[in-house]
Structure 1
Amino acid sequence: MPKFLSTLIKRSLGAYINLLGYISPERATKMAYKFFSEPRDGRLLKDALPEVLQQAEAEVIYDGDAHITLYRWKGNATTVLLVHGWESNASRWEQMLDYLRPTGCTVMALDAPAHGLSSGTSFNIPGYADFVDIVVRRYTPQYLVGHSLGGATSLYYQSRHPYNSIKKMVILGAPCDLDTILLNYRTMLGLNERVRLLMDTHFKTQFKINTEEFSCGLFAKELKTEGLLVHDCDDEIVAYAEAEKIAEAWPSAEFITTNGLGHSLHDAVLYKQIIAFLFDAKAVTLPDGRTETPE
Structure 2
Amino acid sequence: MQRLFTYILAKLIGLYINILSYTSPQKALRLAYKYFSNPREGRLLKDSLPSVLKEAQAGIVTHNDFIFQTYTWKGNDTKVLLVHGWESNAARWKLFITYLKKAGCTIIALDAPAHGLSSGTEFNIPQYAEFIDIIVQRERPQYMVGHSLGGATALYYQSHYPNTILQKLVIMGAPCDFNSILHNYIGLLSLNSNVFLLLKKHFFDHFKIKTEEFSGSLFAAKIKIKGLIAHDRNDKTVAFKEGKKIASAWPKAEFVETKGLGHSMHDDKLYTKIYSFLFDSDSADK
Shorter-chain TM range is over 0.9
CA distance in 2, matches of 1:179, 1:45: 33
CA distance in 2, matches of 1:275, 1:41: 29
Kept after mapping to 2: 8 A contact 1:79/1:107: yes
Identity in percent: 57
SS in 2 for 1:243: helix
Determine the structure 2 residue equivalent to 1:213.
Answer: 213
Deviation at 1:164, TM superposition (A): 3.8
CA distance in 2, matches of 1:22, 1:263: 37
Q: How is 1:62-77 mapped onto 2 (pairs within 5 angstroms)?
A: 62-77=62-77
CA distance in 2, matches of 1:64, 1:256: 38
One-letter amino acid matched to 1:114 = A
One-letter amino acid matched to 2:146 = G
TM-score by length of 1: 0.94
Range with greater deviation from structure 2 (157-166 or 220-229):
157-166
Q: How is 1:176-187 mapped onto 2 (pairs within 5 angstroms)?
A: 176-187=176-187
CA distance in 1, matches of 2:195, 2:60: 38
CA distance in 1, matches of 2:40, 2:263: 18
2:189 equivalent to 1:189: yes
Q: Which runs of 5+ in 2 are unaligned?
A: none
SS in 2 for 1:256: strand
Kept after mapping to 2: 8 A contact 1:140/1:164: no
Aligned residues: CA RMSD? 1.1
Determine the structure 2 residue equivalent to 1:240.
Answer: 240
Deviations 1:199-239 (A, max 9, x none): 00000101110000000010001010100000000001100
One-letter amino acid matched to 2:114 = A
Deviations 1:115-151 (A, max 9, x none): 0000110001001001100110110000000000000
Determine the structure 2 residue equivalent to 1:133.
Answer: 133
CA distance in 2, matches of 1:67, 1:5: 35
Range with greater deviation from structure 2 (92-101 or 62-71):
62-71
Number of paired residues?
283
Which structure 1 residue ranges, 4+ long, deviate > 2 Å from structure 2?
none
Deviation at 1:64, TM superposition (A): 2.6
One-letter amino acid matched to 1:221 = A
Q: How is 1:133-172 mapped onto 2 (pairs within 5 angstroms)?
A: 133-172=133-172
SS in 1 for 2:12: helix
Kept after mapping to 2: 8 A contact 1:78/1:142: yes
SS in 2 for 1:227: strand
Q: How is 1:81-92 mapped onto 2 (pairs within 5 angstroms)?
A: 81-92=81-92
CA distance in 2, matches of 1:157, 1:6: 34
Determine the structure 2 residue equivalent to 1:101.
Answer: 101
TM-score by length of 2: 0.97
